[in-house]
Chains A and B, each alone.
Chain A
Amino acid sequence: MEQTTKLPESVKYDLTFAREIYSLENGSYIKQCMQCGMCAISCATRDIMDYSPRRLFNLIKLGKKDEVLKSNTFWYCTSCCTCKARCPRGIPLVDVMHDLKRYAIKNGYVDYPQAAFCKAFWAEVAGRGKVFEGGVTARFYLIRGLDEVLKAMEMKDIGINMLKRGRLPMFPPKKIKGMGNLKKIIRKAQEIQRKEEAR
């Protein structure tokens, strides 16, 4: 029999991308999503997300790499855990969102300011073993550039209030004493994590 209908673009599954996401630490949970929509109605930031978590998972299944990685969904996830507590399939959505953030950063999708924030935060941990909030802010602006600094000038009142109230120490806390061993631990953990994800 002659094939008369061509599959429309939207249902051409590109499994390479999906498989890559499934191989991330919490990625395989996505396969269990039954599209019930509980996460979508629960999400604290759904109204400003491009796609609800449910729709995002569907796009991953469909292999829509660009749509997924350019979406703001996982960046706007505030890790409030509401969806994780409610998902009837027990999917730890927050943890999946963490994986997607990491995957996006690794693949150069870093347009959202939240990506810069994550990187700034990590730089503090990796350098000192503790986070200096002033340092995170400074690094954030270094990554994002002058535009964001100018925007931040509008928020100077907040900074001044915090300073007045003794809540913005000017100097960072001391490095932890075990910085050397923490670095070794992190290096080894990264190595193990890569091996596990490649399995």
Chain B
Amino acid sequence: MKYSFYPGCSMEATAQANLVSIKAVASALDLQLEEIHDWNCCGATVASGVVGDFTQQVMTGRNLAIAEPKGQDVVVGCSSCYLSLAVTNKRFREDEHFRALANEALAEGGYKYNGTLRVRQFLEVVINDVGFEKIAKKVKRPLKGLKVAGYVGCQTVRAIPYEFDDPEYPVLMDRLTEALGATATPFPMKARCCGSSNAIADTKIVLDSALKIFESASQGGAQLMVTPCPMCQLNLDAYQQLVNKVHGTSYNMPILFFTQLMAIAFDLPPDAWALKYNIVPPGAALASFGVG
């Protein structure tokens, strides 16, 4: 199956592990990802605070306009990009007035978007187009006994509620974890916000949010956490030491992209695991599986 792929800015910098593992897992599952030519930033949840939703959505629409002639579903690996692209796409598809105005602006650059594409999270593509059964068959290194907290985060399931999972208590990532042979642990805060882009502007917001998430995951007995979101991964991984320092805790919780865990379970080459980018070392949790 072929898809148009929107990587997003973070995959070129802080979330390279996401890019590496998504590509590896996609190719193992025969999903062909064709990067959208000359894509631009989607604005995340930040640009509209300066230029407004309309302008941000028009800008995001440029990517969809470039992808449209191929007629392939657009696959996104970042939760914030997914939010931006999916909501924009919905508006192009459902709001005629918006579509007309947005296309008036896009025409200035020589583009037009008719709203014919679907925008999808990589997590959802893996689950629905490949399916748990086929995923389970790919597993060469069953992660039996590994206790995993599936941190879905906020935007993936709430960008468009009920699009593919429950926005209050999502379950699909846990089922994916189990298809890899691991155990999904109870985790009431699995869809709680990590503080998102406040890490730089107001670090305390992230430290306090992260604390609650670590507490919840640890109480469920998790040895590591998986997430689909680059922002969640960065906040929980890079700021974990500071959480411990400020809150007097001693968490040592590796935070992996779910695709990293898939790459390990599929026994793809170690490069595909992309563990060298992880700040909290996943060695202890994974040592018994020959990873480290």
Contacts and interface: CB of A to CB of B under 8 A. Distances in A.
A125 to B, nearest CB: 5
Interface of B: 9-10, 12-16, 38-41, 43-55, 58-59, 62, 83, 101-102, 104-111, 154-155, 158-159, 161, 167-168, 192-193, 195-198, 200-203, 205, 208-209, 234, 238-239, 241-242, 276-279
B167 A85 contact: yes
A136 B238 CA distance: 17
Given A45-B205, A81-B83, A185-B106, A165 B279 contact: yes
Contacts of B197: 78, 117, 121
Contacts of A169: 12-13
Interface of A: 25-26, 44-45, 48, 76, 78-82, 84-85, 94-95, 98-99, 101-102, 105, 112-114, 116-119, 121-122, 124-125, 129-134, 136-137, 140, 155, 157-158, 161-162, 165-169, 173, 176-178, 181-182, 184-190, 192-193, 196
Contacts of B242: 155, 157-158
Contacts of B104: 188, 192
Mostly, the B contact residues are helix
Contact of B198 (A78, A133, A134): A78
Given A118-B46, A155-B203, A130 B40 contact: yes
Nearest to B43: A125
B251 to A, nearest CB: 15
Contacts of B107: 188
A190 B181 CA distance: 51
A189 B226 CA distance: 38
Contact of B276 (A136, A165, A178, A187): A165
Given A44-B193, A122-B50, A196-B54, A81 B40 contact: no
